[in-house]
Amino acid sequence: MNILELPRRRPLNIAHRGARSVAPENTLAAAEKAVESGADMWELDLQATRDGELVVLHDSTLGRTSNVMDVFPQRRPWRVGDFTLQELRELDFGSWFEVVDPFGQIAAGAVEQSDLHRYRGIKVPTLEDALRFSRRHSVGLNVEIKDLTAHRDRRVLLEKVVSEVAKWDMTDNVLISSFQHDDLREVKRLDRRIATGVLTGTCCGDPEELVRSLGADAFHPRLGILSLGEMGRLCSIGFPVLVWVVNDRDTMSQLIMAGLTGIFTDFPQTLSYILSSWV
């Protein structure tokens, strides 16, 4: 039974890129904060290095969330797929968070100074690191497959993703999503037990037909492309809908009332607090 089929009385609280409002996104530190906040799952983005390793990063380039410009100044435009895993391990993926304070939570006093010190020098996690962490903490994992084009055979890397999930006995606790819908077909071909979610940021006609045509398990729309009534109707007939990204308290409450399957948020701590009053 995969994570979407487990009985529950409320939506899944899914920490978008980990609890990235209070820790550097897509790091194990952000995953730790997601667990501490009571999230049911944490979401990460997966890309491939030049040597075919699977790393947890959102952007296709390294400039925003690392010190790559200082360490490798001649390697512009600093594409993830142009670096080996060993080279990425030389970079600091945490210090930028204190400088940028992307959600204003440092200024608001929601981040401890001890945590900021701990974030400095954080290394990029691999998929294996993320799976090991999730298994150890009994937390679900949404793996969004991003750019795997650094490798000539995309299927080889999808096979590696599925193999890693099986290796860590996380088949029932992982949900794989992608905007590149052929990836979802391939994942299901490799292992039908793994739940898959169809990501979309635009209107797509009939969501039910799209999900069925891909053999997928859930629909992941961007907030706003479907009405609250449409999403609620789909969920009421047993069609899983996990919406992204919701940071507003009132909208969270409305989506809970509508009976959505899951809510992606940068503030899982806030969603946990609201959900606690609905149980």
Specify the pTM: 0.96
Q: Are 128 and 138 in contact (CB under 8 A)?
A: no
- Name residue 270's amino acid: T
Q: What pLDDT score does 3 carry?
A: 86
**pLDDT value of position 238:** 85
Closest alpha carbon to 226 in 255, 252, 197: 255
Short-list 249, 231, 251, CA closest to 241: 231
Q: Residue 152: what pLDDT?
A: 58
Region of poorest pLDDT, from 2-16, 61-75, 121-135, 183-197 = 2-16
pLDDT score of 57 more than 90? yes
Q: What mean pLDDT is predicted for residues 51-60?
A: 95
Contacts of 200 (CB under 8 A, 6+ apart): 179, 210, 219, 220, 221, 222, 225
User: Which range, 2-6, 26-30, 177-181, is most confident?
Assistant: 26-30
Superfamily of domain 12-276: Phosphatidylinositol (PI) phosphodiesterase (3.20.20.190)
Q: What is the pLDDT of residue 279?
A: 60
pLDDT in tens, 147-169: 666 665 788 889 999 999 999 99
The rounded mean pLDDT for the chain is: 94
pLDDT single digits (tens) 73-97: 999 999 999 999 999 999 999 999 9
Residue 122, burial from CB neighbour count under 10 angstroms (0-12, 13-18, 19+): buried
- Tell me how far apart the alpha carbons of residues 244 and 265 are, in angstroms, rounded to a whole number: 7
Q: What is the pLDDT of residue 149?
A: 65
pLDDT, residue 151, reads: 60
- Domain range summary for the chain, segments of one domain joined by +: 12-276
Q: What is the pLDDT of residue 7?
A: 73
Q: Which tens digit of pLDDT belongs to each residue from 223-240? A: 999 999 889 888 988 899
Looking at the chain, the whole-number percentage of residues with pLDDT higher than 90 is 82
Q: How confident is the model at residue 260 (pLDDT cuts 50, 70, 90)?
A: very high
Mean pLDDT (whole number) for 92-116: 98
